[in-house]
Amino acid sequence: MLLAPKLSCPTVPLSNGLQIPIFGLGTSHDGGYSHDAIVYALTECGVRHIDTAKRYGCEEQLGHAIRESGIPRRDLWITNKLWNGDYGYEAAKKACLDSCSQMRVEYFDLYLMHWPESTQLCSNREMRADTWRALEELHKEGLCSAIGVSNFLVHHLEELKEDCSVVPHVNQVEYHPFQQPNHLMEYCRQEGIVFEGYSPLAKGQVLNNPTVLQIAQKYGRTPAQICIRWSIQNGVVAIPKSIKKKRIHENCQVFGFELEKSDMVALGSLDDGRHVTWDPTNVK
């Protein structure tokens, strides 16, 4: 099999010295996984950053697709997430090992706590701290090259910083022109936490926005490319999801142009606070 050249993708430095590709391919549950699409992204588009989670139910299939692609493990960045049903010190360590086994990999480049709320009858803060200590050990043991969180807000991060010794390397949250948590972004930058954004296309809601359409026409690009480019130019790691080869190819073509400052400002003015997925605002 002829392998595609590695996508010319910039990286973002983590606080531990690793470099995470600023662009990746997301997967999800409810029809958000396609074996052929993963293999295509890796072999034809040169994608090297794949994001998944235990909750998506596709670990085994994803591992098979990665092996079929023939891409050496050392050339990939694989992110996985620990679901909150597996929170707690012992459960978290076992879940990580189980996920490695399901995907048939020896380590994850990044392993995240998926949600700030526990399913168990104890304080969320206590459970987050107990779980994070497990991730710290997994990191120390080399099973997770970097560790982080997902959907955590400032108060969650502040508590974790007080309770534990390793500051998360990454915080992955919803981010698109309609949802711009600028206060959280600034906090993460001050603390050396890389900000990663999922749902950069707001599940398609942003693609028909007049401002986005106007800017897309100006650059001769698609609305999706404009939104992904906007995320990247803001320094945000973007992981758009798609199971369609045409869309994946389109989404990868975001490094051959740059948005002017006025267009970045125009897109930045679209924030209306809407969530297209989970909202962690009320999680204590």
Binding-site annotation, residues for substrate: 114
Run of H or E including 146: strand 144-150
The strands making up 144-150's β-sheet, listed across from edge to edge, are: 25-26, 49-51, 77-82, 108-113, 144-150, 170-174, 194-198, 237-238
User: Which residue among the candidates 56, 87, 111, 198 is catalytic per the annotation?
Assistant: 56
Please tell me what DSSP assigns to residue 192: T
- Concerning whether 56 is annotated as a catalytic residue, the answer is yes
Nearest-angstrom CA–CA distance, 256 and 64: 32
Q: What is the pLDDT along the chain (284 residues), one digit of tens a residue?
A: 444 455 789 999 999 999 999 999 999 877 678 999 999 999 999 999 999 999 999 999 999 999 999 999 999 999 999 999 999 999 999 999 999 999 999 999 999 999 999 888 789 999 999 999 999 999 999 999 999 999 999 999 999 999 999 999 999 999 999 999 999 999 999 999 999 999 999 999 999 999 999 999 999 999 999 999 999 999 999 999 999 999 999 999 999 999 999 999 999 999 999 999 989 999 99
Binding-site annotation, residues: 114
Contact between 250 and 123 under an 8 Å Cβ cutoff? The reply is no
- Residue-range domains of the chain with CATH: 17-199+236-245 (3.20.20.100)
